Structure 1
């Protein structure tokens, strides 16, 4: 292939990617995000006519779930990665709403691995100041308005109530019990508080602290970053987390055991929610 032909192919590819992204800017679309490849892959498998668009090196897959146009992306682990990918999605695709699916560590003693937390609100648990008076400031500040954000970012009420309704119609996988591995414990779904920090929590003491200080039902590493970006840009959002462990000393062992089931259940709920929009 000569240089001229290579140039034409390259130019056409750039134009096609730009035109495709522009097309999705002008029509209603729902943004779907997940931290891990496995979670995102489960959602991508449900897409009809998927098309990939690369934005600043980040891969976004556009397609349809039911009658809804969607754009799907993997954020990567941690708050900075989550905020960056969310911002790129909002800027290039202008989604009318953003849903985040993924796993988390449980901090509510009534919940077990495999259970689901629909985040009615999210908060950063590792943001604040350390002073001699021990009076930390937990509120982030909006860089645009210079005003303080709320400690807890509220989910969009319409999306939250729809998720609470839809989950009753979804066939979720039962949780394997310790004895014999029989999947006969039903999945519990609650609407509660999810807290976010750039740490993998595997500590009983930290779990107690998160429960006491924030009323946390689950802890993870991306949700509040996504919520903050959406809150500041005024885009409706909802975070849905399926528990892979209890964030205690056995978290790494439980994670390996329950992650596949937790990821599948979370993805099932998000896909059903999109179809119900």
Structure 2
């Protein structure tokens, strides 16, 4: 019993130490970090900046300025999880933002969604991380390098930011998808809060889409979100991933991507800018 008491006390002491260490390590500044994977996505946000100023950190270009009354810092992560994690870490270390927002496109895996629709990521997960044993039991949890504990499979978005996005999107004028005839679809843009999964692959396979739906309940798939979410989760920085669909991640994904990417990028950027103005 005494040994159990000592172990319990040690556990709570370590938990307190980790919480204290987090508080000591990351002291945020009154600025919001905005990220996007592609130059075009980031350019849409930069166009709205008041008094933009360029800051280069280890070769990565960051742009500071204001959107409304909010100080922001904007950067392009580049494609893929490593690039996304690196840029996020540099932004957090150099600028100490209070929160991170990501704007970008994704492939839709929810059959009820089409290009142009938006998924507010209530949670994100790595779909290509794990270890398969001889018993075929996958381990999908990453490990926190700070606490040495397993991370959750799904990284939750900051609740306050998510609720703000759900409220603000009702006031944003989103673009419908252009039709082949040259008109615009009369179907309203659908916005949902759901699950976004991340992997270092461009998905263009109905079979993979079915797998992502079955294994993760995924509504969209992309290549950066969970990496950003993991960095923020481990440093306890609020984050939110916004994704607008450019395709349905099926066999026609490459064609749809080229056609619908501009509209999807604008819809995502519009929402993120509106969220910042509403902070």
Q: Same fold (TM over 0.5)?
A: yes
SS in 1 for 2:214: helix
2:169 aligned with 1:167, yes or no? yes
Residues 61 and 71 in structure 1, CA contact (< 8 A), matched pair in contact too: yes
Q: How does 1:208-247 map to 2 (within 5 A)?
A: 208-247=210-249
Please name the residue that 2:83 is paired with. 81
1:12 matched residue in structure 2:
none
**Contact 1:153–1:228, Cα closer than 8 Å, also in 2:** yes
Equivalent residues of 1:115, 1:243 under 8 A apart: yes
Which residue pairs with 1:261 in the alignment?
263
Greater CA drift, 171-180 or 265-274? 171-180
Superposition pairs for residues 71-220 of structure 1, below 5 Å? 71-220=73-222
Alignment-derived partner of residue 3 in structure 2: none
Contact 1:244 1:259 in 2 (8 A): yes
Q: 1:56-87 deviations in whole A, cap 9, x for unaligned? A: 00000000000000000000000000000000
Once the two structures are superposed, residues 103-153 of structure 1 have per-residue CA deviations (whole angstroms, 9 ceiling, x without a partner) of 000000000000000000000000000222110100000011100000000
Shift of 1:255: 0.2
> Contact (CA 8 Å) 2:28, 2:97: kept in 1 or not?
no
Structure 2 counterpart SS, 1:212: helix
Please say if residues 124 and 225 of structure 2, whose CA atoms lie closer than 8 Å, have aligned partners that are also in contact.
yes
1:12-40 deviation digits (Å, cap 9, x = unpaired): xxxxxxxxxxxxx9840000000000000
CA RMSD of aligned residues (A): 1.1
Distance 1:196 1:26, change over 3 A: closer
Q: Secondary structure at the match of 1:39?
A: helix
Distance in 2, matches of 1:209 and 1:179, equals: 34
The answer to whether the Cα contact below 8 Å between 2:203 and 2:249 also exists between their aligned partners in 1 is yes
How far apart, CA to CA, are the structure 2 residues paired with 1:194 and 1:130?
A: 22
1:178: Cα distance to partner?
4.1
Rounded to whole Å, the distance in 2 between the matches of 1:266 and 1:176 is 16
1:176 is paired with a residue whose SS is coil
SS of the residue 2:140 aligns to? coil
What displacement does 1:174 show?
1.4
Report the counterpart of residue 272 of structure 2 in structure 1: 270
Instruction: Report the Cα distance in structure 2 between the residues aligned to 1:81 and 1:181, rounded to whole angstroms.
Output: 37
Shift of 1:179: 4.5
Aligned mates of 1:154, 1:179 — CA distance in 2: 41
Q: Which runs of 5+ in 2 are unaligned?
A: 1-26
1:152-183 CA distance string (max 9 Å, x none): 00000000000000000001111223454434
